[in-house]
Amino acid sequence: MSSRACLLFYCQHTMGMGHLVRSLALAEALSDSFHVVLLNGGELPPEIRLPPGIEIINLPPLGLDSGQLVSRDPGYPLVQARQTRTEIILNSFRVFRPDVLLTELFPFGRKKFEFELLPLLEEAKRQNAFSPLIVCSLRDILVSGRSEQKKYEEHAVALANRYFDIILIHSDPDFARFEESLNSNTRLTPCVHHTGFVVSSRSALQTDPFKTGPIVVSAGGGLYGYRLLSTVIEAHALLPPSANIAIKLIAGPFLPAEKCDLLCAAVNDRDGLKLVRSVPDLYGELCGARASISQCGYNTALEILQAQLPALVVPFADQGEDEQMNRALRLERLGAIRVLDQREMSAPRMADEIRVLLNYHPRRVALDLDGARRSARILNETVRERRLREISRRTNERLEWQV
């Protein structure tokens, strides 16, 4: 173990890769100041890039299916997976004795994981000699369309007030502020910091000024992307061959195998269509693309803006998930993207949207993208101040005892 301050980082992704990608970007920035130990609770795609300098502990992976927890590892039935995860998490806390305990999204999401998070937070609060700084890491916009939303938020705020010291909002406050996503009437007591957006560190890539590449179609991890991808394939058949429109579809590592097979069959021997399972760097693909068609998750939206290309987004909006639509509409008002409601998506409508997209000129939007480094600075400074206060307290106790 390093002599640096230790940060134990809990991340659970269930529907895609967005939470994991953002957490890894944040962990990489934090590793400059902390010994970062990442508790990864979801499936880890083989092509995901793990940043150097962090230690990762993979828990038996869990996910959601129709809103219910399921084990993603056949070797772990759900009951056993829950028990083993809780044991690993608590043991990790006791072994590493972290200066900072950071949870991604919880308590403003991941309610189904309270079975392992509440024991962890109780363990952290019981510590006297090394009580950690407890921090929540949040994206720009929260889901606000759940059934019993007010009850859900009141519960989340109560947990935040009981356990947490700091909430990091990874957003440019000029784009979206935390209080706009939260309708609770209860006062929130932890310190709230808007950090700017968190993006992965990467070498600057030259975008294609002539946009000669294909239209890149993506759907994050792919678990909920089949309808978008299949609709684009159908729409391509409605476009005139003379338009010479090439499309590259990225299925995503979590797209179920049977649905990936259907897509493969649909593009087989079709000129102008190419399907790949995944790519190591979506941003690199976008920089060489003519345009983008995607959903509107946090990471994809930021990569579209950075690549500066025409983009159509079809936000995922099932089961009250309104976060992507809220983000998309804000970006549309800024002139940065075009938006298609998934309820209005059909092959003819998509073909029309593709024609419009190729003549669309998005506005450049300046957003604060320094969220990873600023988050690290906030936590580093806070830990240093806590240590100085503890040293001062102990010094005063010794002087009082001597007197």
Residue pLDDT, tens place only, 39-63: 999 999 888 889 998 999 999 999 9
Domains 6-199+369-402 and 215-357 share a fold: yes
Mean pLDDT score across all residues of the chain: 92
The count of residues in the chain is: 403
Q: Which CATH class is domain 6-199+369-402?
A: alpha beta
Q: Which two tokens stand for residue 26?
A: 């944040």
The whole-number pLDDT of residue 1 equals 37
Express each pLDDT in 293-339 by its tens digit.
999 999 999 999 999 999 999 999 987 789 999 999 999 999 999 99
Q: How far apart are CA 61 and CA 40, in angstroms?
A: 8
- Residue ranges of the domains in the chain? 6-199+369-402, 215-357
- Name the CATH superfamily, with its identifier, for domain 215-357: Glycogen Phosphorylase B; (3.40.50.2000)
- Max CA separation in the chain (angstroms): 92
Express each pLDDT in 109-145 by its tens digit.
999 999 999 999 999 999 776 789 999 999 999 988 7
The whole-number pLDDT of residue 183 equals 81
Which of 34-38, 361-365, 386-390 has the weakest average pLDDT?
386-390
Write down the pTM of the prediction: 0.93
Average pLDDT for residues 10-20, to the nearest whole number?
Answer: 92
The answer to whether residues 113 and 12 touch, using CB atoms and an 8 Å cutoff, is yes
User: Over the range 317-349, which residues count as b (16 or more CB within 10 Å of their CB) and which as e?
Assistant: beeebbbbbbbbbbbeebebbbbbebeebebee
Could you give the percent of the chain with pLDDT greater than 70?
Answer: 94
Q: How far apart are CA 154 and CA 151, in angstroms?
A: 5
